[in-house]
Chains A and B, each alone.
Chain A
Amino acid sequence: MNLHGIWAIYRFEMARSLRTLWQSLVGPVLTTSLYFIVFGGAIGSRMQTVDGVGYGSFIVPGLIMLSLLTQSVGNASIGIYFPKFTGTIFELLSAPVSAMEMVLGFVGAAATKSVVLGAIILATSAFFVPIRVLHPGAMIAFLLLTAVAFSLFGFILGIWAKSFEQLNFVPMLLITPLTFLGGSFYSIDMLPPAWRTVSLFNPVVYLVSGFRWSFFGKGDVDIAISLGVTLGFLVACLAVIAWIFKSGWRLKN
C-alpha cells in the first residue's frame, strides 16, 4: 500500500479547499441560514409541525443532506477533473498508485470536507431551531456513508466530464432536483399517493429518510431499506470506478 501516495493526494485536496475556504465553508453556511429564514421562518411559521416535529427542526436533516450531496459530488468531481483539465493527470497516472489508493486520496478528502461541512451546518442550525439527535451513531454512519457514496459518484462524474459545462450539468440538473424532490423539506407522506409512489424511485428519498430517522426516530421508509439503498449505491459506484481504472476509460488513451 502506497500510504505516502494516498496522503499526498489527500493533503493536496484538503489544501485546495483551504485556499478557497470562503467558497468551501462560508458559502454553504450562509445558504443554510437563508434556508432557515425562508423555509423555517416564512413557511414553517404556517406549518407548525410535521410528524410531531417542528418544521424548522424537521428540515435540518434534509438541509444537511442537500449540502452533503452537492458538496460531495462537487468536491470529488473537481478534484479529479482539474488534473485532467490542466494536464497534471500525467503525474497521477505515471505514479505507483493503484486505483484504490487514488480513490482513497481523492474520495477521502472530498468526503472529509463534506462531513465537516455537515457538522458546521448542524451547528449553524442549532442557532435557529432546537436540535435533538435520537440515534447519534446512526446519524454519523449515514453522514459518512452518504458522503463517501456521493464522493465516489462525483469522482466518476469528474472522470466522465470533458468540460466544465458537463461537470456542472449533473449536479445542477440531477442532484439538486432529486434532493429537492427527495423529501428534504417535506415528508413524502404529505404527497398525493401517485406522487408518493413516483418519489420512491428517487434514491435521495432513502438517504434523507434514513438520516431523518437518526434524528427523530421516524422516516418515510424503513431504516433498513434506507441503509440498504445507500450501501447499494456505494457498491455500484465502486464497481463503476473499478471498471474505469481497468479499462482506462476517459483516463488513458
Chain B
Amino acid sequence: MPDPILAVAGVSKTYKGGFTALHDVDLEIGKGEIFALLGPNGAGKTTLISIICGIVTPSTGTIQVAGHDALTDYKAARRLIGLVPQELSVDMFETVLATVTFSRRLFGRSGHSAYIEQVLRDLSLWDKRDAKIMELSGGMKRRVLIAKALAHEPEVLFLDEPTAGVDVALRRDMWKLVHKLRERGTTIILTTHYIEEAEEMADRIGVINQGKLLLVEEKAALMKKLGKRELDLALVEPLDAVPEGLERWQLNLANDGRTLRYVFDATEEQNGIPALLRELAERHIAFTDLETSKSSLEDIFVDLVGERA
C-alpha cells in the first residue's frame, strides 16, 4: 500500500439510544488508491464516511487526513476531502454553475471559473450550467453532486453509493471518471452495493458488516485467497443422485441432474480434477462438455457476510 493519506484508528459510534453503528474500526487508505467498502444495508458504511467527513461525531477514535487530525485540525483535514452523498441532496432552485461555485467557495477557494468549467465539461454538465437543478434528470443531478464534491480540488474523494439508481451508460461514465481522477492522483473511497463496481475499479476492498470491518485486502489477493472455482460437467445421461464412492470430491447435481458440479479451492495445488475425470471414466459416466468458472467478488462477499454475521 502507498503512504497512507487517511488513517482511521479505533473509531466507534454508539448513538444515544444505545445502538452501536461502528465497533472499533481501524483502516488505512494509501495515497492515490481506489478503495471499495462493501457491506449490506445498515452495515455502517455511511456512518464511517460521515464520521471521517465531519458530519457525525465519533464516540471514540481518531482520524488523520494527510497528517491532519479530523477533529482538532478539522479545517485542514476537510479541505482535502470531497464527498458525494448517497442521497440526491442538492438545492433544487439553484443553477448548476451557481451551486458548484458555492461548493468551491465554501471549501475556502475563490470562484475559479476555468477549473469549474473543466469539471463541468468532464461531467457533460457544461451545456446545462445555467439550468436549474430541478430541471435535470436524476442522473444529471448525480453528476452535479460529483461536480460539487470535486469543485475544491480534493485529494480524497468519497463516493457513497455513486451509481445507485443510475442507468448503465452513466455508470460506465462514472467509472471512466474515477479512473481519470485516479490518474491525477486523487484517492477514491467508494461504497457500493454493486460488486461488479468494486471488482472493476478497486485496488483494495474492505468488507464491513454490523459495524465491524471484517477484512481489508488487495482485490486480487482477496479473489485468490477466498475465490473458488467450479467445474461443470454436462452429462450424457442425467443422474438421480451423486454416485457412491465419489464423496471425496463433494460433488453435487444441478440442472435436473444433467450437470455434475465440482467446487474446488483455486489456491490448492492439487485440485483433484484429473482423478475425478478418471474416476468418472471408470464408472462410465460420460459427459459432452465441461466448463470451469471462478467465483465472483459477489460470491466472496456473500460468503463472508454470511459466515460472520
Tell me whether B105 and A4 are in contact (CB under 8 A).
yes
Complex Cα distance, B118 from A240, in Å, reads 43
Tell me whether A93 and B90 are in contact (CB under 8 A).
no
Tell me whether A252 and B74 are in contact (CB under 8 A).
no
Chain B residues near A94 (CB, 8 Å)? 53-55, 78, 81, 83
A88-B89, A90-B89, A96-B78 are contacts. A12–B102 as well, Cβ < 8 Å? Answer: yes
Tell me whether A5 and B83 are in contact (CB under 8 A).
no
A15-B98, A88-B89, A253-B15 are contacts. A95–B57 as well, Cβ < 8 Å? Answer: no
Chain A residues near B78 (CB, 8 Å)? 94-96
Min CB distance A15 to B, Å, is 7
Tell me whether B74 and A96 are in contact (CB under 8 A).
yes
B76 at the interface (CB under 8 A from A): yes
A7 at the interface (CB under 8 A from B): yes
Min CB distance A83 to B, Å, is 8
Residue of B nearest to A20 (CB): B93
Tell me whether B75 and A252 are in contact (CB under 8 A).
no
A92 at the interface (CB under 8 A from B): yes
Complex Cα distance, B92 from A229, in Å, reads 40
A94-B54, A252-B56, A253-B15 are contacts. A7–B105 as well, Cβ < 8 Å? Answer: yes
Complex Cα distance, B231 from A148, in Å, reads 74
Chain B residues near A165 (CB, 8 Å)? none
A199 at the interface (CB under 8 A from B): no
A12-B102, A95-B78 are contacts. A4–B108 as well, Cβ < 8 Å? Answer: yes
Min CB distance A105 to B, Å, is 9
We find that the number of chain B residues with CB closer than 8 angstroms to chain A is 32
Complex Cα distance, B15 from A4, in Å, reads 34
A193 at the interface (CB under 8 A from B): no
Tell me whether B89 and A95 are in contact (CB under 8 A).
no
Residue of B nearest to A3 (CB): B108
Chain A residues near B148 (CB, 8 Å)? 91
Min CB distance B123 to A, Å, is 17
Tell me whether B83 and A90 are in contact (CB under 8 A).
yes
A86 at the interface (CB under 8 A from B): yes
What are the interface flags for B137-166 relative to A under an 8 Å C-beta threshold, 1 for contact and 0 otherwise? 000000000001000000000000000000
Tell me whether B103 and A91 are in contact (CB under 8 A).
yes
Tell me whether A93 and B55 are in contact (CB under 8 A).
yes
Tell me whether A87 and B89 are in contact (CB under 8 A).
yes
Interface residue from A11, A12, A19, A88 paired with B90 (Cβ < 8 Å): A88
Min CB distance B257 to A, Å, is 53
Tell me whether A8 and B106 are in contact (CB under 8 A).
yes
Chain A interface residue number, banded: 20 to 34
B109 at the interface (CB under 8 A from A): yes
What are the interface flags for B61-104 relative to A under an 8 Å C-beta threshold, 1 for contact and 0 otherwise? 00000000000001111110101010101111100001000110
A248 at the interface (CB under 8 A from B): yes
Chain A residues near B81 (CB, 8 Å)? 94
Tell me whether B110 and A4 are in contact (CB under 8 A).
yes
Q: Which of A51-106 contact B (CB under 8 A)?
A: 86-88, 90-98
Residue of A nearest to B82 (CB): A94
Residue of B nearest to A8 (CB): B105
A8-B102, A96-B78, A248-B57 are contacts. A90–B85 as well, Cβ < 8 Å? Answer: yes
A29 at the interface (CB under 8 A from B): no
Tell me whether A87 and B87 are in contact (CB under 8 A).
yes
A94-B53, A94-B55 are contacts. A86–B91 as well, Cβ < 8 Å? Answer: yes
Chain B residues near A97 (CB, 8 Å)? 106
A2 at the interface (CB under 8 A from B): yes
Complex Cα distance, B269 from A134, in Å, reads 98
B262 at the interface (CB under 8 A from A): no
User: Could you say which of B15, B77, B102, B148 has the most chain A C-beta atoms within 10 Å of its C-beta?
Assistant: B102
User: Could you say which of A12, A19, A87, A94 has the most chain B C-beta atoms within 10 Å of its C-beta?
Assistant: A94
Complex Cα distance, B85 from A90, in Å, reads 8
Min CB distance B72 to A, Å, is 13
A107 at the interface (CB under 8 A from B): no
Tell me whether B109 and A4 are in contact (CB under 8 A).
yes
B107 at the interface (CB under 8 A from A): yes
Tell me whether B75 and A98 are in contact (CB under 8 A).
yes
Interface residue from A2, A5, A86, A96 paired with B89 (Cβ < 8 Å): A86
20 contacts between A and B (CB under 8 A): A2-B75, A2-B108, A4-B107, A4-B109, A4-B110, A5-B105, A5-B107, A7-B105, A86-B89, A87-B85, A87-B89, A88-B89, A88-B90, A90-B50, A90-B89, A92-B106, A94-B54, A94-B83, A96-B75, A96-B108
Known: A4-B108, A90-B55, A93-B54. 18 other contacts (CB 8 A): A2-B108, A4-B106, A4-B107, A5-B105, A5-B108, A8-B102, A8-B105, A86-B89, A86-B90, A90-B50, A90-B53, A90-B89, A91-B103, A91-B106, A93-B55, A94-B55, A96-B74, A96-B107
Residues of B within 8 A of A (CB): 15, 50, 53-57, 74-79, 81, 83, 85, 87, 89-93, 98, 102-103, 105-110, 148
A-B pairs with the 9 shortest C-beta distances?
A87-B89, A8-B105, A96-B75, A94-B53, A96-B78, A4-B105, A95-B106, A8-B106, A93-B55
